Each structure stands twice: as structure tokens, then as C-alpha cells.
Amino acid sequence: MNSFLRLALRTEVVSVGCIPKDNPKPRPHRKTPQQQRRFYRGLIAALLTSSSFVSQSWLLKPAQAQTTAYCRLTKEAIAQKEQLLNESLKGNSDAQKRYNTLIEQHGNSLQQCRSQTWPQNQAIWLKLYPCDARPGVLDEIMDRIANQGYNQVYLQVFADSQVLLPKSDNPTPWDSVLRSSATENVDLLAQAIQKGRARGLRVYAWLYTMNFGYTYALRADRKSVLARNGKGQTSLDVIPQSPEGSLDSNEAFPDGPQAFIDPYDQQAKIDYYRLVQAIVKRRPDGVLFDYVRYIRGAGSASVTSKVQDLWIYGDAAQKALSARALNNKGRTLIERYLKRGSISSADIAQVDKLYPTEGSPLWQGRNPPASEMQATASQRQPRLQWDLWQLTLAHAVQGILDFVALAMLPAQQQGIKTGVVFFPEGNQPIGKVGFDSRLQAWENFPSSSEWHPMVYGICGNTSCIENQVQRVLDRAAPGTLVAPVLVGQWGQPWKNRPSLEAQMQAIRQKAPQINTVSHFAFSWLNPKFDRDRQAACGR
């Protein structure tokens, strides 16, 4: 993909078990008194966090300081907290005070353990439901996350045409997750951020980006916003690759029909910019952008190998492409190529006659040889057609990059971290001229943002996962925070994938510089609890 990104198209200016760290070997010489004191303090701290020591609950006071492997709380500490929460929900004010004190103490214990444990940041992906607004439910969710040793939460705030904003304060064209009159003023996003931080958790907002959702696509005033290919189709007209909704796939797990937008469309930019503005008002610890790509079709449609495959046939994208021409010859050939899928020697001869005072056809990124116009039209045709293919590829990719750069601005202006979520294979070339149809040029995402590659490889062991991580690291600029996303279960293989422990240990051995790992998703790691929550919502 670098081949067509080298065209350097101008970007559009827009107004709008604890795994302990390796300890140094003890010095062979005799310790000074000060060194001995430090040694014994360190020994005591190690004992306090070891699973064998914390099992002796009578040795530790209070119970909330106890952690086991991977910074998980002990069963005794969890039970104590659950009991206090249940009593406080019954109106026991004393239990409420003790519960608040306990979650603060547990949060401090979690932060201390994670600072001494690899990975220093262990995150989980979370989706909330309308019934999570019931008293105590969000507290229980955040408790469960902290209990399991996670210190970051990636909270879904925009997906499937819904936003996690209160109905009474939703300036976007999407419906609120909470739509009943009884909950129209409930700000579940703000509550989740507050309750997470009270437990030592950093809460990120996780948003779909170019996938705006099915109900958005049904709006009569948004029909022109959708991306279109050379057949006039939108993403709603094509069948996504069948494994895309499968737990066994290397793809995402969409909530419903996928409505991808034209990233050059001004209305799409305005709608999404306002969405991000509303979210950053709640001051999350970060904002993660997912679906920063086009749809991946089924079968042969999963490969982009000709211009008609590209999602650049929306009105805005076509106008922006024509504007990349630097002379009349260039503009005319671009428009003919887009319409027909190729240009002929006759097309080249005609533009020479139409604009005799111009030299070579020019557009952004094209540097023709000085002797080009000395050749015949038929001799020039192969080079010009290849250059047009490279131009249209680059144009499709640049639209994605410009769109996410604009989307990040509200967060960046507030000093809030940003990150991008992507597939390591989403940018790969296929065959002589083809590319993965997602055109996810993640190697061109800003290195100042966090990179969250979804390393969902399936091969029965960790080798493919390690290879995906290495592929990203090889292309990341020095200093880029790479935070792999894993799928699996604790303590056992799942869906032909090794356990989460095995995956994490393999990544640590392969790339010890990585210190942030996340697990997809809370619902899969807490299936019964998640089913009960959905049942309470009537789902």
C-alpha cells in the first residue's frame, strides 16, 4: 500500500498472577544497613502480593489489600464488597460509607499491583445496555472489572446507530441508548467515567468511525452521505464477508447492518465532529476510533483490484478527486477513467487536441518523465492508466486518513488521548494490483495516537498472534504506543485460540516493550452476568 501512498496527496483542510517485572540479581557483596532496610521492605511487599501469602486472610488487614495472580482480588475481598453493595442498595447508610471506602482502597491496591505487574495497563472492552441505568448495576459492572485486575475500560459510546448520551442532551442525528422518558436525563457515559475512576480505572470512549449504522442510512436527509462504488452500490447493498460476524473470524463483530459513509462528505464530517465534541465534554481518559476503514465484501469483493471496486463514487468523493487534477488534461482523464474504468489511446489523443498548449496530464503526486510528450498516445497509455489507478487508490485511502484526523481534533484540543483500532492485515496487498478491500492504511495513522491492533489470528497456537503483533511493530514509528487486542478466555483455550494467559505471555516474550494489552470483550468473559443484564432489558 505504501506504493500509492507515496503519491503524497494533499490532505484536505477542513474548517469544522501478577507477572512481575524482571528483578535485578542481588549484589554479591555485603549490603549496607540502608540497603538491608530496602531489601526487607521489598521482601515484605513481595509477600503481600503473592498468591500463597494472601490466601492466609488473617494475616492481612484490611481484606481489600489482597490480590492474586494478574492483580485479581481474592474471593474473600470480592464477597465483602458485594455484601456491602447489596446492603447499601437496601438503604443502609453505614454500609454505603464502608462500601465507598472499600472501593477506594481496592482501587489503590489495583494501581499499586499494576505498577509492579506486566502489562502495566490491562484493559477490557465494554458495552452497556439501557437497563444498566438501574441502581447498583453500573457499580457491579465496574466492581467486576476491577476485581478481575483490569485498570482500563474501553466503553462503547457509538455503535449500531446509537450513542451513549442522555436523550435530553444529544446534539447528534443518532438515537440515544437510553430513550425512555424515565431515563432521558440519565448520563450513563458520565456515570461510567466517574464510577470507573472511583475504582482506579481509566475509562476510554470507544466509537465506530466510518460505519454510521443502519438507521442513519435510512434518513431521507442523509442518503447522499453514504459511500458508493462504481456499480452505484452502498455498503447496505453488498454482503459483508460472511465470517465478519463470526466468533471464529479475524474480522470485527458488528452489531447490525453496516452503513459506511463517504469520508469526503461534508455532512458526514459535521455529524461526526459534533458527536466527538459531545463525548469529550464528559472528559473520558481517551477516545478510541474503530471502523477506520471501508467494508470488506464477500468472496472476490474482499479484494480491491479495479477502480469500480473503490468506494469513491459518492458525489463528494468524485468532486474531491477531480479537484486533484493540476491541468485540464489531467481532469478529463481522471473523469473518463472513473466513469469507464480505463482510458484508451484515443482518449489520450483527444485530450491532446482539446488542450494543445498543455504538456503532460497532471494531478497531485504525478511526476511524468520530461520526455513523455514525445511518445505516441498508445505508448503513453499503459503508464497513464497505471498512474490513474495509483491516484484513485490513494484518493480512497486519503479520505479515511483525513476523516479520522478531523475526528480526533476535539479530543486533542482538550488534551485527551486518542487511539485507532485496526486489523493488522487490513492494509495488505493481494496479487499484482489488488489490496484488501478495507484499505485500512494503519501504517499512516498518527504515531502520536495509540495503536490498538486486533490480533485475532487463529492457528491453534500463539504463532499467528505473535506474527500479527510483529507486523505492526515493524511498521510503527519509534515511540508509538502499540496495545494489542486479544480474544479468548482466562485459563482455557477458546474457539481454537490459546488462553489469554498464553497469548499474553507469548506477546511479552516476543515484544517486552509492549505494556498495554486489552481483552475483547466483557460480555464474553462474563457470559452469564451479561445474559442476565440483557434479560433485564427484555432482550
Show pLDDT as tens, one digit a residue, over the chain (539 residues). Answer: 444 444 446 554 444 444 334 444 444 444 454 554 454 344 334 333 333 323 322 222 333 346 778 999 999 999 999 999 999 999 999 999 999 999 999 999 999 999 999 999 999 999 999 999 999 999 999 999 999 999 999 999 999 999 999 999 999 999 999 999 999 999 999 999 999 999 999 999 999 999 999 999 999 999 899 999 999 999 999 877 643 333 433 333 445 679 999 999 999 999 999 999 999 999 999 999 999 999 998 888 899 999 999 999 999 999 999 999 999 999 999 999 999 999 999 999 999 999 999 999 999 999 999 999 999 999 999 999 999 999 999 999 999 999 999 999 999 999 999 999 999 999 999 998 999 999 999 999 999 999 999 999 999 999 999 999 999 999 999 999 999 999 999 999 999 999 999 999 999 999 999 999 999 999 999 999 999 998 988 76
> 54: Cβ–Cβ under 8 A, 6 or more apart, which residues?
48, 60, 66, 67, 68, 74
pLDDT the model gives residue 23 = 41
> What's the CA gap between 342 and 363, in Å, rounded?
17
pLDDT the model gives residue 10 = 57
Cross-strand bridge partners of residue 486: 519
Q: Is 0.85 topped by the overall pTM?
A: yes
pLDDT the model gives residue 395 = 98
DSSP 427: T
Residue type, 370: A
HSE on the CB side for 487, CA within 13 Å? 20
pLDDT the model gives residue 69 = 84
pLDDT the model gives residue 539 = 65
CB 176 within 8 A of CB 162: yes
